[in-house]
Structure 1
Amino acid sequence: MEKRKIGSKIAVLTAAAMIILAGCGQNEDEKIYLDEVKAEDYVKLPEYKGLQVVQALPEVTDEYRDAYINYLLSLNPPEGAKDGDTVNIDYVGTLDGVAFEGGTAAGQNLTLGSGRFIEGFEEGLIGAKAGDVVELNLTFPENYINEEMAGQSVVFTVTVNTIMAAEPQELTDEYVKGLDNGCSTVEEYNQYAYDLLMEDAEESYENAIENSLVNMLMESTEFTKEPPKAMVEGYVSMLNENMEAEAANYGMTLEQFIGAGFGMDAENFAKEMEEQAKQYARQYIMLQAIADKEGLSVTDEDVEKEIEELTAENGGDMSVEEIKAEMDMRRYKEYMMSQKVMAMLRENAVVSAE
């Protein structure tokens, strides 16, 4: 599993994903919310209107579009993995039913036929399709570098996440007609792919502007005292819950996940989480202080309306009450407040391409 920086990984966890969790790791009577603190007591705000941001305009070149289409043509071939294809896999190796050290990983890219793994591992994945779970009964070679595993019979349980074919499928009108996107010609599909990529580029453009605005304000805001301990602990709980959920998706414990993914032990991971949680608390207090100064607020009716929209977007699979039961409603209200503030900051920002 590729080692990652904890900061960049946690940054992927959006505020929305964090705060809609019920926060089971912290007792209700231990929680503290923004409406229980006077935000202006914690910060001295800088000028926050008219902030200047330099951000390149969104662009999708023909080369980028073609590379994207080629990626899709190579992704998850219907006939399964062949020699020379690259599979992305999670695996757990067990000896006598117990996972052994170094035998578990997630998100590994492996080119079949490369000889990177012990004999039989790569061969056993030939013909596997994306989503398959394959059990491989293998034996480590007698001269294996790890003497404890040399000659041992083990079982690898391998989950195939994706397959990238060495040779992409051919893009033809016939191929396009078989896709569920309303296109019937290669020309139409090229435009469809361009539109998708431009939509993504425009979203990334707006996200980059908002991130710049927040970073500028975090750097120029004077934090006069530390955020409440209970608030920080609440964010720690939510970050942990997100990480535990991701670890579970890989079939790993949190300790295994942080070791494989970030190359750190539990103690150092806890310190990183604590610091990240403090940053979240400071950021939300800062945004609340701006909201208070601007008279921005979120009503219960606003929250109810948004939950109804979430229900509709979810295809009605969950009722409003079921969604609300999975959410910390006061945290979600805080999130909606932050979105209002960000919209105001974005509206008043001066954005240029250079």
Structure 2
Amino acid sequence: MQVKETKAEGLQREIEVVVPASDLEARLQTRLFEVKDQVKLKGFRPGKIPMAHMRKTYGRSIMAEIVNQIVNETPRSVIAERNERSAMQPEIQMTEDEAEAEKVLRGESDFRFTVSYETLPTFELKGTDAIKIERPVVEIADEEVEDQVKRIAENARTFEPKDGAAETGDRVTMDFVGKIDGEAFQGGSSEDSNLVIGSGQFIPGFEDQLVGVKAGEEKKVEVSFPEDYGAAHLAGKQAVFDVTVKAVAKPDALELNDEMAKKMGLESIDRLREIVRGQIESQFGQATRQKVKRQLLDQLDGDYDFALPQKLVEAEYNNIWTQVTRELQQSGKSFEDEDTTEEKAQAEYRKLAERRVRLGLVLSEIGEKAGVIVTDDELQKAVIEQVRQYPGQEQQVYDYFRNTPEAVQSLRAPIYEEKVVDHLLATVDVTDKTVTKEELMKEDEDEIAAA
């Protein structure tokens, strides 16, 4: 086999491979001899078929298998021998001339093909002594816990029928049909819908107009959808809802005690408070993690600047762009609604793709040097978490991961990244800073770049 480099520009490589016809013939003879005893042909005893007849009958198909094996195995071995790592699956180019290909399969011509790929860049890891992280921490006040407990208790309250007019805090059961310019719109109708007046569940202004209604009453509720309403075709529009009130109910007394907690399956109100505090801690902890990780990645990104495999960048960009355009389509918005243009958005997301690829390579190198690994148990837990996200379809999802190894491996990358981040946070300078809940939960405009 002859291997010749025909291109080496930046990270791009092109290798020409020539397998002489004599090598193909030797492989063919070996393979024919191996299968000789396994082949059954009418008129011949097993193992007694003449090699000439074997070649005539099976030579072309076996040669096709040999060529396919060479194409599958050679790129990996050639790249390894060159001490290089391919960024993505190498591209193989063979002759498209049918006559030339037929000569190869008959063993009359050398087999030539080209392997094209981009190498992963090599770079020196830099020290992390200069990295300083400020970890935002929120002190959870007892009032915060109590407010959450009250909200839970509000949702668990029971109601009893009321003869009089509805007041704030009462529950109204109603049918309604929403119309814009006299035409009903999709998603604007419901039957037997329950609404607690003052809960803020409906469009601003809707609930206020239900104060004073009674069971059996019909009322027209006029509202304006907010300018930033999620459904773009409704945003800013004037609407009229034809409401038929079917029942009014008043809430029972709100009591934060063990009896209320037991209705929820808990032993005491203190146990409910404990659970609520844990949920708040988890929520704040996730937000803290996000901001700490963002600081870490920002500083790493500023420390490295090297050539990137463009196919990796293009693949990442395509993933991002597909998600962005899908979300715009689903929301009914355009780039102009986002105060930008498609060209500016494309440039912005291409930079984001480059950042993600660069950081991915850096984190991968750091993790490799630190001996970070993803265990089978961690992968199994990730699969189980995926399965839980599809209630009622658990078996199908589990079967999918069991039968699709690459799907399981796709779960490895985010786990690996988080473990490398944990490794780095254990080695860099991290100081805590007490912040308010609002400061912690505020999202930066370019928060997506931290992903």
| Category of TM-score, reference length = shorter chain | 0.5 to 0.7
**Corresponding residue number in structure 2 for 1:174:** 259
**Corresponding residue number in structure 2 for 1:349:** 428
CA contact (8 A) 2:134 2:432 kept: yes
Return the offset for 1:345: 0.9
- The unaligned stretches of length 5 or more in structure 2 are 1-85, 90-117, 161-165, 170-176, 189-197, 225-236, 243-249, 434-451
**Corresponding residue number in structure 2 for 1:191:** 274
SS of the residue corresponding to residue 426 of structure 2 reads helix
Is the aligned partner of 1:282 residue 2:358?
yes
Counterparts of 2:277 and 2:378, CA distance in 1: 35
Match of 2:385 among 301, 310, 315: 310
Return the offset for 1:190: 2.5
Counterparts of 2:200 and 2:298, CA distance in 1: 40
**Corresponding residue number in structure 2 for 1:294:** 370
Is the aligned partner of 1:214 residue 2:290?
no
- One-letter code of the match for 1:305? Q
Counterparts of 2:333 and 2:320, CA distance in 1: 17
**Corresponding residue number in structure 1 for 2:140:** 60
Summarize the alignment of residues 2-21 of structure 1 with structure 2, pairs less than 5 Å apart.
none
Is the aligned partner of 1:200 residue 2:283?
yes
Change (3 A) 1:121 1:264: farther
CA contact (8 A) 1:290 1:341 kept: yes
Counterparts of 1:79 and 1:265, CA distance in 2: 51
Q: For CA contacts below 8 A with separation 6 or more, give which structure has more relative contact order.
A: 1
Summarize the alignment of residues 1-354 of structure 1 with structure 2, pairs less than 5 Å apart.
38-41=119-122, 45-48=125-128, 51-57=131-137, 59-74=139-154, 116=205, 123=210, 169-180=254-265, 182-184=266-268, 186-219=269-302, 221-238=303-320, 240-241=322-323, 244=326, 253-254=329-330, 256-257=332-333, 262=338, 268-298=344-374, 301=376, 305-310=380-385, 317-318=394-395, 319-323=397-401, 328-353=407-432
SS of the residue corresponding to residue 133 of structure 2 reads strand
SS of the residue corresponding to residue 353 of structure 1 reads strand
SS of the residue corresponding to residue 224 of structure 1 reads coil
Change (3 A) 1:223 1:99: farther
- One-letter code of the match for 1:210? K
**Corresponding residue number in structure 2 for 1:24:** none
Counterparts of 1:345 and 1:255, CA distance in 2: 38
- One-letter code of the match for 2:385? L
Counterparts of 2:309 and 2:143, CA distance in 1: 48
CA contact (8 A) 2:87 2:309 kept: no
**Corresponding residue number in structure 1 for 2:40:** none
Change (3 A) 1:99 1:112: closer
Return the offset for 1:62: 1.1
- Larger Rg, first or second structure (1 or 2): 2
Return the offset for 1:173: 3.0
Counterparts of 1:172 and 1:114, CA distance in 2: 33
**Corresponding residue number in structure 2 for 1:28:** none
SS of the residue corresponding to residue 54 of structure 1 reads strand
Q: Deviations over 1:21-58 (max 9, x none)?
A: xxxxxxxxxxxx956665444x5543136843232445
- Looking at secondary structure, tell me which structure has more strand per residue: 2
CA contact (8 A) 1:139 1:153 kept: yes
- One-letter code of the match for 1:317? E
Counterparts of 2:408 and 2:290, CA distance in 1: 24
Q: Deviations over 1:291-350 (max 9, x none)?
A: 344354558x57753455436756882443324659755543332331231122122233
Change (3 A) 1:60 1:241: same
Change (3 A) 1:75 1:313: same
Counterparts of 1:121 and 1:227, CA distance in 2: 58
- One-letter code of the match for 2:394? D
Counterparts of 1:113 and 1:309, CA distance in 2: 36
Aligned length: 273
Q: Deviations over 1:229-277 (max 9, x none)?
A: 4534434425633773x67xxxxx3361467984556555444443433
SS of the residue corresponding to residue 55 of structure 1 reads strand
Q: Deviations over 1:200-239 (max 9, x none)?
A: 33444444433322222122x2222245245344344256
Counterparts of 1:34 and 1:266, CA distance in 2: 29
Return the offset for 1:115: 7.5
C-alpha RMSD of matched pairs (Å): 5.4
Taking structure 2 as the reference length, the TM-score comes to: 0.45
